[in-house]
Structure 1
Amino acid sequence: MNTLEQVVPEGYKQTDIGVIPQGWKVSTIEGVAAIIDPQPDHRTPPESSNGDPYIGISDFISNKEVDWATSRKIISKAVDKQEKSFQLKKGDIVFGKIGTIGVPKFVPQVPFRFALSANVILLQPKKVEPVYLMEFFYSELFQQTLKAELHSTSQAAFGMNKMRLIKLPLPPKKEQTAIANALSDVDVLLTELEKLIAKKQAIKTATMQQLLTGKTRLPQFAAYTDGEQQGQTKGTKPSELGEIPEDWDVFFLGDICQIKMGQSPNSSNYNSVGKGFPLVQGNADIANRKTIVRNYTSEITKTADKGDLILSVRAPVGEIAKATFKCCIGRGVCSIKYPNEYLYQWFLSFESQWEKYSKGSTFDSINSDELKAIQIIIPTLEEQTAIATILSDMDNEIQAFEQRLAKTRQIKQGMMQELLTGRTRLPFDKES
């Protein structure tokens, strides 16, 4: 059954963009917003170290905030030229048309001058609630249209003419506001969750730095529990790695764990996903500290067991994950066997230090001997387990918040699909 053959519910009507409520209209972007090319000559203005910011989509760090410090600076005359053509207002939207396509952002409101890049389109809402228009750009309805338009051309670009002709469902202004407010409330929740996760991650990083170096000791390990020194706080001692707790020791990585370098099967033995034996190779198969399988193989070379650590050893070095399944390890990774999660947490804390070990003319890499020669300070197994438990609990808490964030984003997508098509209606004041 095609769109035109769908049964239209009472109170709705069929349009060329789908079924919408009777009181809604279909408009084009051109009908509800001024569409401006901020740099009609498409030339980047001359740079000036003391000039004004020149911003595009890639300079934004949120929906309305820009990293001004790293943005390109241009001569003031270029800003003068833009200001003669148009004035930026609250609610204006920039939309990437070249390079970064889409990803709309609200133009920031700041007490200084700046210019917009030639790579964006400026939209100034006139007959539409700005937040409603922004939410439409992130909706499935528009994203499908954008994808179709980009696939129809060999050059990745989305120009002014295409933007003018985009159609959108348009409810009455007060209903637009009600929809915008509902979705904005969810955005506030998403922002708060993102801030909370960032805070938790910062606390985790600081905790790792303290516990994994012995600078802070857990109470049960901070003092002697027997002998002549019972009750006394444990001190420190010098080592090759600097001052360390007096009851910790320095070891080579190769002396405390089993390291197995990967060996790729012949590519002719690769199978489609789900057939054969899972193959992990290179950091491309490690994402978000999880093992990601892109290939399967019928040839078994080197294997990692469930629970082993999998470390990328090239391009770049240092991505770490825990194997959640037995797998074949290919070129670019190694497996590491260790009795608890202490070493996993240590590898996470070591991320910023790989540069001094990683070297290569074409791509960064580290070999087996170099890996085994890395030095690490180690407490007793009992203290390792206690430290790892605390850090793992923090990881679990962060993961729970990340799952909640992902779920909230899914909920918002569902809300957008319902509200921006009129399938679900919100109460609003219909009186003028």
Structure 2
Amino acid sequence: MVPNGWNISSIDSISDSVKVGFVGSCQKDYRDSGIPLIRTTNLKNGKLDLKNIIYVTNEFHIKNKKSQLKEYDLLIARHGNHGSACMVPKGFQDANCLNIVIVRPDLTKVAPEFMLDLFNYSLSKKLSSKAAGSTQTVVNTKEIASQVATVPPLSEQRKIAKILSTWDKAISTTERLIDNSKQQKKALMQQLLTGKKRLLDDSGKPFEGEWVEITLEKLAKYRRGSFPQPYGNPEWVDEVNGYPFIQVYDIDKNMKLKPDTKIKISDAAIGKSVFIPKETVIVSLQGSIGRVAITQYDAYVDRTVLLFQEFIVPMDKVFFAFIIQELFEIEKTKAPGGTIKTITKEVLSNFKVHIPSITEQQKIASVLINADQEIELLEQQLADLKQEKKALMQQLLTGKRRVKVDDKEVA
């Protein structure tokens, strides 16, 4: 049922044009500066992300007028995250685009911000599902132009967009707080885990005493898990009554395991696996190499995971998890392309760490855990805001909930 005063409109009928940007190779025109070239990678979460922007020559820009951008243009992903959209912000001048659909709203019929919300609320899902259900790898302009939506009068569109923008601002603010908190934590780790910054002890005085340099093999006893991938033998898997089986993709951020492991193994598999009690420090050795966790539950572990069984010297596990995390980050910077392909036992044995007294370790661990908890709290706030906006969009963009325009209730 169409809400009172709303119309069913195609994207084509409320747009000045729907066209695709430049398609083809233009690397010869790339420059370190010049005209920004927007690509699909720059369309992120409904916004234009210019962190990894590339530039082209002014000659390319002038030659390719069809793909020149104007403020308020909607940019729609043709491939990858099909149908996801962002808007060229006001004041953004002289830009071109590569292999992106450009929807130029008719400003007499539709508010660009409202149209953007429409795309990211429902139209992108329709376009994505169409692409997923066919052999094509891109969404074409005809499919986008033919999409229909229920559209209210322009004044109501603007009011809806204004309301939703309040949530957008809160989301953006929280995202910036998270980014700042992560940068602050990173800087804090670099200071605290090297002894450049010393904390206060229980008496209020700075910790004293030299830190000790020690190789990993003299610090702890460690090994890989020994059990091969369980899905190779159906008898080894028991998803109902089985025991948690940890693989590299079960290691989540902030040094934790994901709440539920994807695979649980049967009694028949136990003799072929390595058991680890909860609060064991583990590290991924494949995939996202160097991701660290302290296990929250008893489990069995795959051979792609390194586990620390015992510490030879007094060691706080949380502090140790942080220094191991930093060691792998340092190792990544040494690797070609910043990627570690494998970590051998010899490399591990030669890892060197600097450690303070156990009491200073515990203080450092406490500070860094608090920093993690602050980030987790902000991330939960962000998730809540996104969920609230999603629920509000479902109400406002379908007309189930009407807004006031010029202080008059719209029925």
TM over 0.5: same fold?
yes
Question: In the TM superposition, what is the alpha-carbon distance from 1:173 to its structure 2 partner?
Answer: 1.3
Kindly indicate whether the alpha-carbon contact (under 8 Å) linking 2:37 and 2:55 is maintained by their aligned counterparts in 1: yes
Find the counterpart in structure 2 of residue 238 from structure 1.
Answer: none
Q: Supply the distance in 2 between the matched residues of 1:355 and 1:78 (Cα, whole angstroms).
A: 38
Question: In the TM superposition, what is the alpha-carbon distance from 1:36 to its structure 2 partner?
Answer: 3.0
Find the counterpart in structure 2 of residue 277 from structure 1.
Answer: 243
Question: In the TM superposition, what is the alpha-carbon distance from 1:378 to its structure 2 partner?
Answer: 0.8
Matches within 5 A, 1:80-99: 80-83=62-65, 85=66, 88-99=69-80
Once the two structures are superposed, residues 225-274 of structure 1 have per-residue CA deviations (whole angstroms, 9 ceiling, x without a partner) of 8xxxxxxx87xxxxxxxxxx743211222333332311124520453644
SS of residue paired to 2:278: coil
Question: In the TM superposition, what is the alpha-carbon distance from 1:348 to its structure 2 partner?
Answer: 3.1
Q: Supply the distance in 2 between the matched residues of 1:86 and 1:331 (Cα, whole angstroms).
A: 51
SS of residue paired to 1:95: strand
Find the counterpart in structure 2 of residue 261 from structure 1.
Answer: 224
Change (3 A) 1:90 1:345: same
Picking from 296, 305, 325, the partner of 1:324 is 296
Change (3 A) 1:54 1:147: closer
Question: In the TM superposition, what is the alpha-carbon distance from 1:167 to its structure 2 partner?
Answer: 0.9
Change (3 A) 1:219 1:398: same
Kindly indicate whether the alpha-carbon contact (under 8 Å) linking 1:253 and 1:371 is maintained by their aligned counterparts in 2: yes
Question: In the TM superposition, what is the alpha-carbon distance from 1:296 to its structure 2 partner?
Answer: 1.7
Kindly indicate whether the alpha-carbon contact (under 8 Å) linking 2:316 and 2:361 is maintained by their aligned counterparts in 1: no
Q: Supply the distance in 1 between the matched residues of 2:110 and 2:164 (Cα, whole angstroms).
A: 16
Is the helix fraction higher in 1 or 2? 2
Q: Supply the distance in 2 between the matched residues of 1:353 and 1:319 (Cα, whole angstroms).
A: 13
Question: In the TM superposition, what is the alpha-carbon distance from 1:426 to its structure 2 partner?
Answer: 1.8
Find the counterpart in structure 2 of residue 355 from structure 1.
Answer: 332
Q: Supply the distance in 1 between the matched residues of 2:303 and 2:199 (Cα, whole angstroms).
A: 39
Q: Supply the distance in 2 between the matched residues of 1:147 and 1:395 (Cα, whole angstroms).
A: 35
Q: Supply the distance in 2 between the matched residues of 1:154 and 1:217 (Cα, whole angstroms).
A: 59
Q: Supply the distance in 2 between the matched residues of 1:279 and 1:151 (Cα, whole angstroms).
A: 32
Change (3 A) 1:46 1:324: closer
Q: Supply the distance in 1 between the matched residues of 2:333 and 2:105 (Cα, whole angstroms).
A: 52
- Alignment partner of 1:407 is 2:384: yes
Letter of the aligned partner of 1:255 in structure 2?
K
- Alignment partner of 1:35 is 2:17: yes
Change (3 A) 1:45 1:369: closer
Once the two structures are superposed, residues 384-415 of structure 1 have per-residue CA deviations (whole angstroms, 9 ceiling, x without a partner) of 11110111011111111111111111111111
Letter of the aligned partner of 2:213 in structure 1?
V
Question: In the TM superposition, what is the alpha-carbon distance from 1:116 to its structure 2 partner?
Answer: 1.4
SS of residue paired to 1:424: coil
Higher mean C-alpha deviation, range 286-295 or range 175-184:
286-295
Find the counterpart in structure 2 of residue 240 from structure 1.
Answer: none
Q: Supply the distance in 1 between the matched residues of 2:287 and 2:133 (Cα, whole angstroms).
A: 34
Q: Supply the distance in 1 between the matched residues of 2:340 and 2:349 (Cα, whole angstroms).
A: 20
- Alignment partner of 1:387 is 2:367: no
SS of residue paired to 1:37: strand
Q: Supply the distance in 1 between the matched residues of 2:342 and 2:49 (Cα, whole angstroms).
A: 35
Find the counterpart in structure 2 of residue 152 from structure 1.
Answer: 133
Kindly indicate whether the alpha-carbon contact (under 8 Å) linking 2:82 and 2:139 is maintained by their aligned counterparts in 1: yes
Change (3 A) 1:181 1:274: farther
Picking from 41, 49, 69, the partner of 1:58 is 41
Structure 1 length-normalised TM = 0.81
Kindly indicate whether the alpha-carbon contact (under 8 Å) linking 1:54 and 1:116 is maintained by their aligned counterparts in 2: yes
Change (3 A) 1:294 1:27: same
Moved over 6 A (4+): 356-359
Higher mean C-alpha deviation, range 158-167 or range 27-36:
27-36
Once the two structures are superposed, residues 58-93 of structure 1 have per-residue CA deviations (whole angstroms, 9 ceiling, x without a partner) of 13467444437x44443433321333x476432111
Q: Supply the distance in 2 between the matched residues of 1:399 and 1:173 (Cα, whole angstroms).
A: 40
Find the counterpart in structure 2 of residue 423 from structure 1.
Answer: 400
Structure 2 length-normalised TM = 0.85
Once the two structures are superposed, residues 144-203 of structure 1 have per-residue CA deviations (whole angstroms, 9 ceiling, x without a partner) of 422331233112211111111111111111111111011100000001001111111111
Q: Supply the distance in 2 between the matched residues of 1:254 and 1:46 (Cα, whole angstroms).
A: 49
Q: Supply the distance in 1 between the matched residues of 2:134 and 2:374 (Cα, whole angstroms).
A: 45
The percentage of aligned residue pairs carrying the same residue is 25
Letter of the aligned partner of 2:219 in structure 1?
I
Matches within 5 A, 1:10-409: 14=1, 20-39=2-21, 42-45=23-26, 47-50=28-31, 52-60=35-43, 63-67=46-50, 70-83=52-65, 85=66, 88-109=69-90, 113-117=94-98, 119-126=99-106, 127-139=109-121, 141-220=122-201, 246-265=209-228, 266=230, 267-268=232-233, 269-271=235-237, 273-282=239-248, 284-289=249-254, 290-292=256-258, 293-298=261-266, 299-300=269-270, 301-337=273-309, 339-355=316-332, 364-409=341-386
Q: Supply the distance in 1 between the matched residues of 2:385 and 2:363 (Cα, whole angstroms).
A: 33
Residues matched between the structures, number: 388
Q: Supply the distance in 1 between the matched residues of 2:133 and 2:332 (Cα, whole angstroms).
A: 43
Kindly indicate whether the alpha-carbon contact (under 8 Å) linking 1:57 and 1:105 is maintained by their aligned counterparts in 2: no
Question: In the TM superposition, what is the alpha-carbon distance from 1:22 to its structure 2 partner?
Answer: 1.9
SS of residue paired to 2:201: helix
Change (3 A) 1:316 1:411: closer
The two structures, once aligned, show a CA RMSD in angstroms of 2.9
Find the counterpart in structure 1 of residue 312 from structure 2.
Answer: none
Kindly indicate whether the alpha-carbon contact (under 8 Å) linking 1:315 and 1:363 is maintained by their aligned counterparts in 2: no
Letter of the aligned partner of 1:25 in structure 2?
N
Q: Supply the distance in 2 between the matched residues of 1:49 and 1:147 (Cα, whole angstroms).
A: 30
SS of residue paired to 1:138: helix
Q: Supply the distance in 2 between the matched residues of 1:143 and 1:218 (Cα, whole angstroms).
A: 51
Change (3 A) 1:402 1:66: closer
SS of residue paired to 2:29: strand
